[in-house]
Structure 1
Amino acid sequence: MMQSRLKELSKTIFKLTAAASISTVVMTGTASAQAMPGKGVEVTPIFPTIAEERFRGEIAIAGLEALGYEVEEPKETAYATMMLALSYGDADFSVHAWEQLHKTFYKKAGGDDTLVKAGNVIPGVLQGYLIDKKTADKYNITQLTDLKKPEIAKLFDADNDGKADLTGCNPGWGCELVIDHHLEAYGLEKTVNHNRGSYFALMADTITRYNEGQSILYYTWVPQWIAGVLVENEDVVWLEVPKTDLPDGNNSVNTSFNGKNLGFAVDQIQSILNKDFAEENPAATKFLSLVQISASDESAQNLKMQNGEKSVKDIKRHAQEWIAEHQASYDSWLAAARIAK
């Protein structure tokens, strides 16, 4: 009788232990799945060919990998092609879309039917025209349209053709279309040349001319390392435009900064995802909707690149350093992504 009861008790203990073990395995598996919701999912990023814009992409990649996603080496291409690749599913996400500047690219690629704007990665992005402060003060130049005067335009003539040389924007970036439109809209085509090509090579020459004491005229955007070399209100000043006049006719957008109309929309850089990928991967979508860095942080990182820390290995290290400095925010983005549905 006693042996029979002991056998029954042993069976009961075994069943309870087995059940507890199975429960533990299930709970552990569930916790692991929650911590790594992207496990087994391959992700293809797509970036522009501008090395200085990879930094924010590496921050996004690090977060997706922390969520378990297998992130492939980023594709690189021009902005319009980038939008098409995202729309067609040849890539899954980017953190490099300018809301206003690239609006036409977004619409032509399919817009909201095939793409998702997840969040604002860098708010408060500026674009505009600058000249050296010394020339601005000496000749009282404050407006872009001051360059309609031949005697003013000649101050910025680098190739002795009698016209001002404006260091402009690469074909395919989008900003070159705005600059060309401005030159026509403000009546500057007869006195200003828009110099296009390799922007950073052209800017290196522009900075050299500035250091030699020559007058300079150039287009730029912030965030970017140039703002750390040619410092606003110390080395250079923004030029105003007489009125907002943009190629798409949407002239109601905000184009002013510190009381000056810069002529370009005050923009924000957004994370863009392929729509199918976004719907199938709520964790990735949530994380990319929350990732945000300041314009000043990206400018500071870009200056490190200009000073020699420009390899992909360097940029990845910069991203990890930024994450460590913003760990609380970064961890909160991951936590929100892990419970996204």
Structure 2
Amino acid sequence: MEHPRHPFSVRGLAAAVGMSVLMAGGAAVAEESMPGKGVEVIPLKSSIAEETFQTMLVMKALEDLGYDVQDIKELEYAAGHVAIANGDGTFMADHWNPLHVDFFEEAGGADKIYRAGTYSSGALQGYLIDKKTAEAHNITNLGQFKDPEIAKLFDTNGDGTADLSGCTPGWGCEKVIEHHLDAYDLRDTVTHNQGSYSAIIADTITRYQQGESIFYYTWTPYWVSGVLVPGQDVVWLNVPFSSLPGARENVDTALPDGSNYGFQANKQQIIANKEFAEANPAAAKLFEVMKLSANDISAQNLKMRDGEDSEADIERHTEAWIKTHQETYDGWLEAARAAAE
């Protein structure tokens, strides 16, 4: 008498067990490759549109680690640091160190905010004037603006003072500029024009193109120095001596080559909520290892200035950067995943 065959042979059972093990292993591998699965991330940035590129690059990497990345929320730096500290935002990709040191400390410092690595280095700030006026009147130093005759060369509205195209309130640079006006005794001869920096600098460039003298603040990396090229169109001004506000009052701002533009050289860092970073070692490691050159930032920013400034444009620029630097990008993700193991 034949016994009915069991629908699963020993060989079939072994195969089925093997398949389930493989599936479980595959799920584990998938989980390891997506350590951020189900975790929400809220990116923050300031009102500077050109910061979107740096921010979006971090967002793409987080998405590739499985994080649920929300749309960017816009806050100026002081409020942004507080939001990061309180957990109302997850990360900000443009913390300038040491320019934003007071914002960092006032928001709770290292007890509340995670900060490691250097996203972009060699950022400079300072005052510039057009080269033609500089050479005609031998102007090399901001201290010369105490002379009313020098200051009048840069008067755009007829009030007799030099008009400085300055810094948007809330960025941090405005505190340094206001401090300099007092430290170098320039209150009577220089007017610090503030508002929307993009609008102010656009007007400044137009005036330069019309042959007028210009006096402005800017920073690098940024597109402005690709249009008004230092050494060719404009020159950096030195300051009479180092003088900074707040916790940096005794800091020497001189650069290695002896130039002193009145601001420390900065590095840009990614900052994040401390609790988030501790709970998400993959993201914390990513924030630490990501690096973007000043030249790449400036090149992308110049594309935005030339009209490629929509969200779709910036996303395309970001994807193109990743494709060109795929090995580097994959290395970031590998390091992040390893940290989560």
Q: TM-score range by the shorter chain?
A: over 0.9
Whole-Å separation in 1 of the counterparts to 2:5 and 2:231: 89
User: Would the aligned equivalents of 2:253 and 2:261 in 1 still touch at CA under 8 Å?
Assistant: no
- Please give the residue correspondences for 1:52-71 in structure 2 after superposition, counting only pairs within 5 Å: 52-71=50-69
Which among 236, 240, 243 is matched to residue 242 of structure 1? Answer: 240
Please list the CA deviations of residues 122-163 of structure 1 after superposition, one character each: whole Å capped at 9, or x if unmatched.
111000000001111111111000111111111111111111
Aligned residues, how many?
Answer: 338
Match of 1:45 in 2: 43
C-alpha deviation, 1:18, in angstroms: 3.2
Which is worse superposed, 130-139 or 34-43?
Answer: 34-43
Which among 10, 13, 23 is matched to residue 11 of structure 2? Answer: 13
Match of 1:157 in 2: 155
User: Would the aligned equivalents of 2:90 and 2:272 in 1 still touch at CA under 8 Å?
Assistant: yes
Match of 1:299 in 2: 298
Which among 205, 208, 226 is matched to residue 207 of structure 1? Answer: 205
Please list the CA deviations of residues 263-296 of structure 1 after superposition, one character each: whole Å capped at 9, or x if unmatched.
1010011100101110111111111211111111
- Secondary structure of the residue aligned to 1:119 is coil
C-alpha deviation, 1:249, in angstroms: 5.1
- Secondary structure of the residue aligned to 1:339 is helix
Q: Structure 1 stretches of 5 or more lacking a match? A: none
Match of 1:227 in 2: 225
1:78 aligns with 2:82: no
1:264 aligns with 2:263: yes
User: Would the aligned equivalents of 1:256 and 1:263 in 2 still touch at CA under 8 Å?
Assistant: no
TM-score using structure 1 length: 0.95
- Please give the residue correspondences for 1:1-341 in structure 2 after superposition, counting only pairs within 5 Å: 12-248=10-246, 250=248, 251-256=250-255, 258-341=257-340
User: Would the aligned equivalents of 2:124 and 2:221 in 1 still touch at CA under 8 Å?
Assistant: yes
Which is worse superposed, 319-328 or 249-258?
Answer: 249-258
Please list the CA deviations of residues 80-124 of structure 1 after superposition, one character each: whole Å capped at 9, or x if unmatched.
110111111111111011111111111111111111003211111
Whole-Å separation in 2 of the counterparts to 1:223 and 1:327: 23
User: Would the aligned equivalents of 1:118 and 1:273 in 2 still touch at CA under 8 Å?
Assistant: no
Q: Structure 2 stretches of 5 or more lacking a match? A: none
Amino acid at match of 1:340: A
Whole-Å separation in 1 of the counterparts to 2:58 and 2:256: 29
Please list the CA deviations of residues 34-55 of structure 1 after superposition, one character each: whole Å capped at 9, or x if unmatched.
1111111111111111111110
- Secondary structure of the residue aligned to 1:214 is coil
C-alpha deviation, 1:190, in angstroms: 1.0
Whole-Å separation in 2 of the counterparts to 1:256 and 1:148: 24
* Identical-pair percentage: 50
Amino acid at match of 2:264: A
- Secondary structure of the residue aligned to 1:57 is helix
RMSD of aligned alpha carbons: 1.8
TM-score using structure 2 length: 0.95
Moved over 3 A (4+): none
C-alpha deviation, 1:253, in angstroms: 4.7
Please list the CA deviations of residues 165-215 of structure 1 after superposition, one character each: whole Å capped at 9, or x if unmatched.
111101111100100000100111111111111111111111111111111
